[in-house]
Amino acid sequence: MRGIESTGPSAGDSSRPGRTPGNLPVELTTFHGRDGDLDRLRQCVSRSRLVTVTGTGGVGKSRLAVQGARQMQERFCDGVWLVDAATVRDPRLLEHSVVAALRLAETSGRAPRTTLLEQLARRRLLLVLDGFEHLVEESARLVRTLLGRLPGLRVLATGRRPLGIGGEQLFPLAPLAATDAAGLFADRAGAVQPGFALTPDNRDRVADLCRRLDGIPLALELAAGRLRTLSLPQMLERLDDRFALLTGGTRDAPAHHQTLRTAVGWSHELCSPRERLLWARLSVFAGAFDLEAAEYVCSGPELPADQVLDVLAQLLAQSVVTREDAPSGVRYRMLDTLRAYGAYWLAATGQTRRLRERHRDWYTGLVTWCELEWLSPRQEAVALRITDEFANLRAALEFAVDEDEDPRHGLYLAGTLWFCWVGCGRIREGRHWLERALEREAHEPPPGAVGAAGDGGVRLRALGLAGYAAVLQGDTVAALAALHECREEAERTGDDRAAAYSLLRLGSLALISDDVRRAEELLAGGLARYEELGELNSHVLIGRVELALAVAFGGDLARAVELCEAVRRECVEHGELWARAYALYGLGFMAWSRGEAARAGALLREGLAISAGFQDLVATVLALELLARIAVGEGRAREAAVFQGAAQRLWPSVGMPLFGSRYFDVPHRECERLAREALGEPAYLEALREGAALDPEVVVDRALRPGDGGPAPVRRPQAGPSPAGDGASPRPYPFPGAGEAGYGRGLAS
């Protein structure tokens, strides 16, 4: 988030005992002054359902809003949730970003706005919409709709201009008062020059500096960073020159805008030519980035890759770039205002498109490598890396899908990210990108030949994945159309991988449609095609679990157990966790069908701990349903009803409850009947309501508790080695996989 140097555990993480739900970042620097502003902001939020903090860039809007929201957490039983709108470039993704920030599942065929309205209908929460100014119209429409339909919602927004909708309470934020400005400067100066403090000898100079920078926090922090190389008298002398040189604004521009431009421009002028060059080139990154990405994307004849680190360190020392420790490792970030300033200079040099192409190439290479590492012991590290890189992946997708001269780049990138869409709970957004890439390719044929890889594999891969996304969302018509087209074209062109994949996914559709015999036939056919290719990947493992379920639904439990046990062994051998969760669900279902309730519960909890860590809602809600049935059989009827209530709330985000399948519905109906009998109607309905009101993470942690012990932890993805395995960087390809084994692999791995 702009102005907040943090990506650590959420201050409002509901998975931590005693904490209110939410996702506010952990503060790494102290908050100075503004006590009166905080008091007034809390009062405004108490009186008005929409409060917008306005002010010039760098004045501290984001920091004030987050600090105020943190102090108001206890007022909102369903938490305080931050949406960083500044990183959303495409207006069409604003609602997706709100859904993701609120940790609502994205596997439903419904529009994201519908998901928000349905899932927040009974919640009482504060939404902090930060940095919306480049998406004013879209933000205003969304906020107006949400506030009009959700009585328990309040919105605290920050931007350089109002949203301009009815009921909006404006909160103009002025620069820091003299005392607070001096305190902020001294604090930040002490961080870069140990021992620095306000003294009788420097107090007047500090006051003069703060006054001439108009008390704008960003300007003060930049000035503090220069104490590494300049004394206070030197800064004041140079500030005189730079103000005169860099005012540059129109006469009718707000004074604070001119002041901020002066502060940023002054810092820019004090940089060396190589530092300015790197500053401009770093502006192509969205959100945080790592050193390897900066070395590849930003290097060139004027700045060799092996010198990027030293120049980056200088920008870090000057507070142009900040460092943060993310789950996947050390990352760097530029404040939004500084990024925009760098982008201006990059455009002035005419290098914007070239840098965006290099950015696309780097993230295409990263995604390709991550896909290769997905079926490995590094799967958790891949999931973490993809999560940390998602803002940059979106930026790469936006360029590849909308602006790239060759539409195959977008097809390749969207298709290769299947493990993010399916494995990490982003089905809805994945389908969005896949369909956009397919639509553009259909209207703009690729220019010339790609080489040995050809075009068909890339397109069919994206087409098959779009069909599978539709299957998971319950969109049968779209799923059938995409998968049949994929299969027919694959057979016509001899693309065996696409043919195998389409058979598997048609089998998935038949399974949830209760056509068990047809499902078994299609799944077995697809698996046989993969076996002929000698290929093992996560699609194959999931297909085998689905085949086992089809066999179990057909009555052959012994064979079904054998199939699932084989999948579990393969997963353990290869370090595959995501598919293992589904194998454990299958084994749990079969154990329950055999009357082995204790074993079934242990298997389901083991799988649930994995799937919840990956944020895979499909596997999560299936496990909750069956754990509810086991609980009622063990005499824990109220707990069973709570789990059913939680599942009832989650199913609309997945699609049709229990896929509309009578086979998946059997334990649900039995659980409901037994719980009603044990509790009575009023108590049963009360427990349902309790479960529906619980945060999903709370429900999962509750479901993982063994009967006589403490909570069993969710298996959260753990940081590990680089997805490149031995510490090597992922290889970026100038064109996705041209001449590489990773390209044209169709629907492999």
The fold of 35-172 is: Rossmann fold (3.40.50)
How far is 348 from 236, CA to CA, in rounded Å? 29
How far is 223 from 268, CA to CA, in rounded Å? 12
Average pLDDT over residues 232-255: 54
- The DSSP code sequence of 666-692 is HHHHHHHHHHHHHH-HHHHHHHHHHHH
Asked if residue 435 has pLDDT above 60, the reply is yes
Task: State the alpha helices, DSSP H only, in 80-216.
Answer: 94-101, 112-119, 136-149, 178-192, 203-212
The pLDDT confidence band at residue 226, using thresholds 50, 70 and 90, is confident
The pairing of strands 168-172 and 50-54 is parallel
In sequence order, the β-bridge partners of residue 325 are: 330
State the greatest distance between any 2 C-alpha atoms of the chain, in Å, as a whole number: 87
pTM above 0.85, yes or no: no
Contacts of 471 (CB under 8 A, 6+ apart): 479, 483, 505, 508, 509, 512
Q: Which of 109-123, 285-299, 603-617 has the lowest mean pLDDT?
A: 109-123
Decide if 40 contacts 171 (C-beta within 8 A). yes
Q: What are phi and psi of 345, to 5 degrees?
A: -70, -30
pLDDT tens digits along 146-188: 999 999 999 999 988 899 999 999 999 989 999 999 999 999 9
For residue 217, give the nearest of 261, 257, 185 by alpha carbon: 185
How far is 364 from 731, CA to CA, in rounded Å? 9
Q: What are phi and psi of 89, to 5 degrees?
A: -90, -35
Buried b (16+ CB within 10 A) or exposed e, 656-666: ebbbebebbee
Q: Give the residue extent of every domain in the chain.
A: 35-172, 178-269, 271-350, 578-714
How far is 501 from 464, CA to CA, in rounded Å? 7
Quote the distance between the C-alpha of residue 164 and its chain's center.
29
Query: End-to-end alpha-carbon separation of the chain, Å?
Result: 34
* CA–CA–CA angle 277, 279, 283 (5° rounding): 115
The tokens of 66 are what?
């987050």
For residue 668, give the nearest of 658, 679, 676, 655 by alpha carbon: 658
Q: Which of 238-252, 390-404, 653-667, 717-731 has the lowest mean pLDDT?
A: 238-252
Asked if residue 718 has pLDDT above 60, the reply is yes
| Higher pLDDT, residue 79 or 721 | 79
* CA–CA–CA angle 465, 471, 475 (5° rounding): 115
pLDDT at residue 19, rounded to an integer? 56
The tokens of 552 are what?
């179990």
The pLDDT confidence band at residue 737, using thresholds 50, 70 and 90, is very low
Quote the distance between the C-alpha of residue 559 and its chain's center.
39
Decide if 76 contacts 11 (C-beta within 8 A). no
The fold of 271-350 is: Arc Repressor Mutant, subunit A (1.10.10)
The pLDDT confidence band at residue 77, using thresholds 50, 70 and 90, is very high
Decide if 466 contacts 439 (C-beta within 8 A). no
Amino acid residing at 189: A
Amino acid residing at 129: L
How far is 334 from 322, CA to CA, in rounded Å? 6
